Amino acid sequence: MALQWLEEEWQRGLAVVAHPDDIEYGMALAVAKWTSSGRWIGYVLATAGEAGIDAMAPAEAGPVRQEEQRRAGAAVGVSTVEFLGYPDGVIEAGLGLRRDLARAIRRHRPEVLFGLNQRLTWGGTTLNMADHRILGGAVADAARDAGNRWIFPELLDEGHQPWAGCRWIAYASSPEPTHMVDVSGHLEAGVRSLEEHRAYIEGLGTGFDARRFLSDAARGAGEAAGVELALTFEVISL
């Protein structure tokens, strides 16, 4: 089945992911496109990614990775970058997570949400880590929770009024995409954004090439879509 073009008649979007760099492995190209056309995008991250650098203790890595994420956001026009303080690698599904995500959604009042692949694998047999899967499911549930004043009524006491304005959530890097976005002309911004994660990339120790990674993926999707560069998303209506 041919993929549909992602509907872009909206002004406020919120990307909610588990770790610093989750957005930069592709989605940031689309973020650069949208912010350059005047749309507002905010980032909410469940963790600081403190367990992501083997040679750096979490207490040191967390602040480094938070600052790298802020710079990565700035590279694609994003100034709102928030961290919820969950422990990296061991996010647990539950009401507390849903409540915190619903609070963020009520506070920012986005029309659309963006997340990272929540499925078991990246396609084939490569396992997708638990943080991605748990967070991806929780943000969809939280979008519904955000619109119901009787779920988490304590949020009302905090001054967060219900927000039922989220129309859909689009998951990047899903092995079961339904939609695509033309990101031609935004590769350079995406590369700059990913390269801001210097400590993390150096910690990989593999000679990772951000430009090659992003261009190979986007050119492949673009060829299938009939454009220079494209990204794919799995969209779920809310």
- How many angstroms separate the CA atoms of 81 and 61, rounded? 17
Q: What was the pLDDT predicted at 206?
A: 84
Could you report the per-residue pLDDT of 22-55, keeping only the tens digit for each?
999 999 999 999 999 999 999 999 999 999 999 9
Instruction: Give residue 58's pLDDT.
Output: 98
The closest alpha carbon to 98, from 164, 16, 161, 180, belongs to 16
Which superfamily, per CATH, for 15-237?
Answer: LmbE-like (3.40.50.10320)
Calpha distance 151→211 (Å, rounded): 44
> Where on the phi/psi map is residue 185: left (φ > 0), alpha (ψ -120 to 50), or beta?
left
Q: Residue 205 has what pLDDT?
A: 85
2: pLDDT strictly greater than 90: no
* Residue 1: per-residue pLDDT: 57
> What are the backbone dihedrals phi and psi of residue 237, each rounded to the nearest 5 degrees, phi first?
-75, 145
Pairing verdict, β 179-182 and 230-237: antiparallel
**What tokens appear for 202 in the block?**
């150096």
DSSP state of 227: S
In the chain, what are the helix, strand and coil shares in percent, each to the nearest 5? 40, 15, 45
Contacts 24+ apart (CB under 8 A), 147-151: 151/102
pTM over 0.75? The answer is yes
Question: For 105-143, what is each residue's pLDDT tens digit?
Answer: 999 999 999 999 999 999 999 999 999 999 999 999 999
Whether residue 26 contacts residue 234, with contact meaning beta carbons closer than 8 Å, is answered with no
Residues 150-178: tens digit of each pLDDT: 999 999 999 999 999 999 999 999 999 99
Would the pLDDT of 80 be above 70? yes
The string of pLDDT tens digits covering residues 176-200 is 999 999 999 999 999 999 999 999 9
